[in-house]
Amino acid sequence: MSVASLFINTDRYSLTAEAGQQLHAEFVKQRCIKLEKFYQGTALTLLQQEVERLAEKAIRRDFQMTETHETPRRLSTLNGEIIDQYSTLVPSLYKDANLLTFLSAIVGEQLYTVTDPGEDYVLNILEQQDDTHGAHIDTYAYTLITAIKTPEEGAGGCLEVIPNNSDPLAFDKMPESIISLCVNPGDCVLLAASSSIHRVTPLIKPSQRIVIASALSNGQTLEQVSYSSEKLYGNKVSN
């Protein structure tokens, strides 16, 4: 049985290749797409309860990532290795064949789960003022971001993307090209993460932004190992 079909809002998203193909043109244009109300109702509540329980085990990070022009990482994280010890729901959704079929059709190529236990599916948590996930591209081709809790309107913590650009300085150089994606709990964003620079804007005041970030590979990135896995998602704090 497809676990995803029990949790995802299938009245809105049928999790078929045909349904995914209808969203392909929008994805190609922006290299990202917001899937509004992907989870709703009781299913969303159950997922939130599961993730909030996991979030209690997250590790606080505060450093600058050398590999991305010293952009900041001020957040708490939890890697897939720890998630596997305490959850069956998050891994089951990640590996669901129907969901992969749907997402593959959106991007227009076959997607695969990744084997890196540090960065296959992770929790990213912003909650303190000035928390941010600075500008970066990912090692793996795509990322599915699932919003569990989101800051109140005007508190910051929005995803920003510049399509088809890998320069961390592009946000200053090309502000007119920024796509801003503020989400609500239950929304997802599918992003061409290895080819489009992206960041999460700083929190203006204490609030909480909890997301599941699920790495998805294409054929070209399947065998790669993430540069940020140990620093951002290792079981020890990076300095």
Decide if 18 is inside a domain. no
Decide if 51 is inside a domain. yes
Find out whether 23 and 108 touch, Cβ atoms under 8 Å: no
Nearby residues of 41 by Cβ (< 8 Å), 6 or more positions away = none
Find out whether 231 and 71 touch, Cβ atoms under 8 Å: no
Q: How many domains does the chain have?
A: 1
Decide if 123 is inside a domain. yes
CATH code of the domain covering residue 166: 2.60.120.620
* pLDDT one-digit tens code per residue, 186-206: 999 999 999 999 999 999 999
CB atoms near residue 231 (< 10 Å): 19
Task: State the pLDDT at residue 186.
Answer: 98
In this predicted structure, the answer to whether residue 236 has a pLDDT above a threshold of 80 is no
* pLDDT one-digit tens code per residue, 7-54: 999 999 999 999 999 999 999 999 999 999 999 999 999 999 999 999
In this predicted structure, the answer to whether residue 235 has a pLDDT above a threshold of 90 is no
Decide if 141 is inside a domain. yes
What average pLDDT does the chain have? 95
* pLDDT one-digit tens code per residue, 79-93: 999 999 999 999 999
Q: Which two tokens stand for residue 154?
A: 């005007």
Residue with tokens 């609500």: 184
